[in-house]
Amino acid sequence: MAKLRAIDLAINVDLSRLGQPDWLKYAEQQTFKQGDALYRDLMPDELVAQLDEHGVERALLGIDPLDPNAHVLSFLEKHPGRFFLAASMNPRDAMRGLRALDALKRRYPRALVEARVVPFQHDLAPDTPLYYPIYAKCIELDLVCGITTGIPVPPLPGECQDPMHLDRVCFHFPELKLVMCHGADPWWDVAIRLMLKYRNLHLQTSAWAPKRLPAELLHFMNTRGADKVLWASNHPSVPLARHFDELPALPLREGVLEKFVYANAARLFFGEHE
């Protein structure tokens, strides 16, 4: 099989900034099993070599708009056009966070393509009004909004990440380009039904090894959802090499794998249509 063209929507290059909090150590021990490699910062040229090896043309890196990490920004400076930014947002930061997002977009107008929120970190469901200014700002700045869904691995409250909380969000913000990140386990059927209901709702499989993807999601991708599901590695928690060992074996119809790993992201995040 020819090498896939891919866009990776989630790579972690600066996990050392977190230290080793209990929730991350638990996730590493229970799920990722990468040992100390999970906490080591990646270097730009090192990562580019890995991306080249696997045919990954572009990658998104997370960044805090309130305190932009110089290490993350060095990837953009050394390899312009190769790396893009996803701003991590806290709904409780209110106008302070929105102003920081505005400033980051002015500084990197082409590189900033997403704003992300992780509900379990705040124990705050995404249909809570505190999130609404973030959604409006994403529409204003033409950013994708990524929201983590599914029960989290760490032993923290997970009900806030039930995808059903996105029903009213999609209803009230029909222009919002919304992506459910990290899958939707155990609520895959709810996530699929919502994607059928709302044109601008999508799902991203970040942190899921391809062979672990559930049958109902693969069926959706092969039928009505070929344009709805996007790939992301979450490297190094699930290494790139593992993804590209397993991706070709997925039981997908002709053309669906290419949409999954490249074309859907190119359209949604970069406005490209083949």
CATH for the 6-270 domain, from 3.20.20.140, 2.40.160.40, 3.40.50.300, 2.60.120.430: 3.20.20.140
Q: Closest by alpha carbon to 269, among 177, 149, 136?
A: 177
The pLDDT of residue 213: 98
The pLDDT of residue 237: 86
Q: What is the CA radius of gyration of the chain?
A: 17
The pLDDT of residue 156: 87
The pLDDT of residue 33: 53
The pLDDT of residue 220: 98
Task: Look at residue 220 and give its three-state secondary structure.
Answer: helix
Phi, psi of 224, deg, nearest 5: -85, -5
The pLDDT of residue 40: 75
The pLDDT of residue 17: 63
The pLDDT of residue 1: 53
The pLDDT of residue 41: 85
What confidence tens digit (pLDDT) does each residue in 66-90 have?
999 999 999 999 999 999 999 999 9
In the chain, what are the domain boundaries? Answer: 6-270
Q: Is the dihedral of CA 175, 178, 184, 189 positive or negative?
A: positive
User: Helices (DSSP H) in the chain: which residue ranges?
Assistant: 22-27, 44-54, 70-78, 94-107, 119-122, 132-141, 166-172, 188-197, 215-222, 240-246, 256-258, 264-270
The pLDDT of residue 14: 86
pTM for this one? Answer: 0.92
**Bridge pairing between strands 56-63 and 178-181:** unpaired
> What separation, in Å, do the N-terminal and C-terminal C-alpha atoms of the chain show?
21
Q: Which two tokens stand for residue 92?
A: 């409780």
d(CA 144, CA 108): 15
The pLDDT of residue 29: 57
Look up residue 15 and give its amino acid: L
268 CB-contact burial (10 Å; exposed 0-12 / middle 13-18 / buried 19+): buried
The pLDDT of residue 32: 55
What string of pLDDT tens digits covers the 274 residues of the chain? Answer: 567 999 999 999 986 665 556 656 555 555 655 556 666 788 999 999 999 999 999 999 999 999 999 999 999 999 999 999 999 999 999 999 999 999 999 999 999 999 999 999 999 999 999 999 999 999 999 999 999 999 998 888 999 999 999 999 999 999 999 999 999 999 999 999 999 999 999 999 999 999 999 999 999 999 999 999 999 999 988 999 999 999 999 999 999 999 999 999 999 999 997 6
Q: How far is CA 10 from the centre of its chain?
A: 5
Helix, strand, coil: what percent of the chain each, to 5?
50, 15, 35
